[in-house]
Amino acid sequence: MKALVKQEAKTGLWLKDVPEPEIGINDVLIKVKRTAICGTDMHIWNWDAWAQKNIPVPMVVGHEFVGEIVEVGSNVNDFHPGQIVSGEGHVVCGRCRNCMAGRRHLCAHTSGIGVNRPGSFAEYVSLPMANIWVHRDDIDLDVAALFDPFGNAVHTALSFPVLGEDVLIAGAGPIGIMAAAVCRHAGARHVVITDINPERLRLAVKMGATRGVDVRTEKLADVQKELGMTEGFDVGLEMSGNPSAFRDLLENLCHGAKVAMLGIPSGEVAIDWNTVIFKMLTIKGIYGREMYDTWYKMSTMIDSGLDLRPIITHRLPYAEFADGFDAMNSGKAAKVILDWSK
Residues in the annotated binding site for Zn(2+) = 38, 63-64, 93, 96, 99, 107
Residue 339 near ligand NAD by CB under 6 A: no
Q: Which does 151 bind (CB under 5 to 8 A by kind): Zn ion, ligand NAD, none?
A: none
Q: What is the CA radius of gyration of the chain?
A: 20
User: For 327, phi and psi rounded to 5 degrees?
Assistant: -60, -40
**Least separation in angstroms between CB 88 and Zn ion:** 13
- How far is residue 40's CA from residue 42's CA, in Å, rounded to a whole number? 5
Residue 286 near ligand NAD by CB under 6 A: yes
The verdict on whether 43 is a catalytic residue reads yes
Q: Which position's Cβ is nearest Zn ion? A: 107
Burial class (CB in 10 A: 0-12, 13-18, 19+), 19: exposed
Instruction: Give how many residues touch ligand NAD by CB under 6 A.
Output: 27
Residue 245 near ligand NAD by CB under 6 A: yes
**Least separation in angstroms between CB 247 and Zn ion:** 34
Residue 291 near Zn ion by CB under 5 A: no
Cβ atoms within 10 A of the Cβ of 326, count?
14
Q: Which position's Cβ is nearest ligand NAD? A: 173
- Please give the residues from 19 up to 58 whose contact with ligand NAD meets the rule CB under 6 A: 39
**Cα separation values, 1 from 7, 20, 240, Å:** 15, 6, 36
Contact 42, 328 (CB under 8 A): yes
Q: Which does 128 bind (CB under 5 to 8 A by kind): ligand NAD, Zn ion, none?
A: none
Residue from 114, 119, 128, 176 that binds ligand NAD (CB under 6 A)? 176
Three-point CA angle 129, 132, 138, nearest 5° = 140
- How far is residue 148's CA from residue 289's CA, in Å, rounded to a whole number? 8
**11, 35, 40, 155: which is the annotated catalytic residue?**
40
Binding residues for NAD(+) are 175, 195, 200, 262-264, 286-287
Q: With CB under 6 A as the contact rule, which of the stretches 106-114, 271-279, 284-292, 310-318 interacts with ligand NAD?
A: 284-292
In this structure, the strands spanning 233-238 and 167-170 are parallel
Nearer to Zn ion, 96 or 130 (CB): 96
Residue 104 near ligand NAD by CB under 6 A: no
CB burial readout 133-170, b (16+ within 10 A) else e = bbbeeebbbbbbbbbbbbbbbbbbbbbbebeebbbbbb
Burial class (CB in 10 A: 0-12, 13-18, 19+), 25: exposed
Q: Which does 93 bind (CB under 5 to 8 A by kind): Zn ion, ligand NAD, none?
A: Zn ion
Residue 212 near ligand NAD by CB under 6 A: no
Q: With CB under 6 A as the contact rule, which of the stretches 105-113, 121-129, 192-200, 268-276 interacts with ligand NAD?
A: 192-200
Cβ atoms within 10 A of the Cβ of 342, count?
10
Q: With CB under 6 A as the contact rule, which of the stretches 51-59, 115-123, 204-212, 239-247 interacts with ligand NAD?
A: 239-247
Residue 106 near Zn ion by CB under 5 A: no
In this structure, the strands spanning 64-72 and 84-87 are antiparallel
Q: Which residues bind ligand NAD (CB under 6 A)?
A: 39, 152, 170-176, 194-197, 200, 215, 239-242, 244-245, 262-264, 286-288
Instruction: Summarize as ranges the residues that interact with Zn ion (CB under 5 A).
Output: 92-93, 96, 99, 107
Question: Active-site positions?
Answer: 40, 43
